[in-house]
Amino acid sequence: MAVVFVVVAVAVLALLAGVHRYVWRRLVGDTTAPGSALRRAGTAAAWVLPLLSVGALVSGRVGAPFWLQRALAWPGFLWLAALLYLTLALLVGEAVRPVLRRLPVRRSAAGAAAAAGDGTSAEGSGRPSGIRSAETDRTPAEVPASGTPVTLVADAPASSPAVGPSRRLFVARAVGGAAAVAGLGTVGYGTYGVLRGPRVKRVTVPLAKLPRSAHGFRIAVVSDIHLGPILGRAHTQRIVDTINRTQPDLIAVVGDLVDGSVEDLGPAAEPLARLASRHGAFFVTGNHEYFSGAAEWVAHVRELGLHPLENARVEIDGFDLAGVNDIGGESEGQGPDFDRALGDRDRTRASVLLAHQPVVIDDAVAHGVDLQLSGHTHGGQLWPGNYIAELANPTVAGLERYGDTQLYVSRGAGAWGPPVRVGAPSDITVVQLASRQA
């Protein structure tokens, strides 16, 4: 196992080194002069930014001071997103580069003006096609007196490619500049989407066993808030305000609340105490809680007024609400226990299950769950990450049916790593339960 880990780590590092080398070459090496200040600055950035990214990734895991985690997180994580979209934009530019190099060179303006002024062509003046007089490209002061011999020079065909150093530099800078604008613009817009806060989605889910009395019951589902070195108290407050404006009957916080300890992030989580709904707010762990001290966080959210469901179930008007621990807790002996949460319930009642990861849907089907509410996937977060997420999850985002069980997966309200979302906007979903008996 250790050998496999080392091989994978070496392969990943080699890939990252190759990608950084490629980006440096296209954005710095091809566009700046050797020894120039711009070349030196670009080369320094190519070394420093990857180191900041590694620091951002490992600082929390090795217990670095929280101030250092925050100092590394912004530049380190943003560079990872920028690297992705700069690389994609440059790869698109590879298709454009040969076309730009082969564009025809325009004839000199003086020659064109002279031709237009006397209305004659090369053929009309008696000169062979493709031959021009050097005097047509000279100023009046430079034109020799009448009778002075005129030197004839060959005129380059208009369609011939220009591949000289100046053309190559122009193409390199044009493609590199366009790629930088596209890549960094994408990251900037994706960052704005995260920092402005999630938008509200509304989904109606019919449940066959839901009684008329519970028709229209509204559950505000929020997952993957990811409080950490970047997203802090202001992020939590935006989420709380957004949820409270929907006036839900019940609030479900479906895991991955934090990326860090209670000591560092307790103040950032405090606004959760102001969540308001008729039946309260419930919480289940996600895999990131087990990186951050799950037991301490379960105790802390309980102090904030949330109700942790650790492989447990409560009866709500018209249905059972159950929650299971995330499978990340299996290493601590605290994994999901469906029998404990659902084994002895009355299956004639409708049931809603809170489970962080969609992959437990088979267990939910086996235990007769009517609706599972999950997160974890972030909807892929950074396109084309959604295609990778599809390989590991039955549903990446939205509502799907598995047998008699429906699964709803939220894209989440925050972001892990880079505070950037592209093609997967953050959301808080109001799930409205509908009775088929109504």
Determine the Cα–Cα distance for residues 97 and 92; give it in Å rounded to an integer: 9
Look at residues 300, 242, 301 and name the one whose alpha carbon lies nearest to residue 276: 242
Contact 367, 336 (CB under 8 A): no
State residue 339 phi and psi, 5-degree precision.
-65, -40
pLDDT in tens, the chain (438 residues): 678 778 887 888 899 999 999 999 999 999 999 999 999 999 999 999 999 999 999 998 888 999 999 999 999 999 999 999 999 999 999 999 988 888 775 544 444 444 444 444 434 444 444 444 434 444 444 444 444 444 444 444 444 444 567 888 999 999 999 999 999 999 999 999 999 999 999 999 999 999 999 999 999 999 999 999 999 999 999 999 999 999 999 999 999 999 999 999 999 999 999 999 999 999 999 999 999 999 999 999 999 999 999 999 999 989 999 999 999 999 889 999 999 999 989 999 999 999 999 999 999 999 999 999 999 999 999 999 999 999 999 999 999 999 999 999 999 999 999 999 999 999 999 999 999 876
Q: What does the alpha-carbon distance between residue 30 and residue 180 come to, in Å, rounded to a whole number?
A: 14
* Cα Dmax for the chain: 113
C-alpha span between 159 and 105 (Å, rounded) = 7
**Left if phi > 0, otherwise alpha if psi is -120 to 50, otherwise beta: which for 224?**
left
Please report the beta strands in 318-375, taking only residues with DSSP state E, as ranges in sequence order: 319-323, 350-354, 371-374
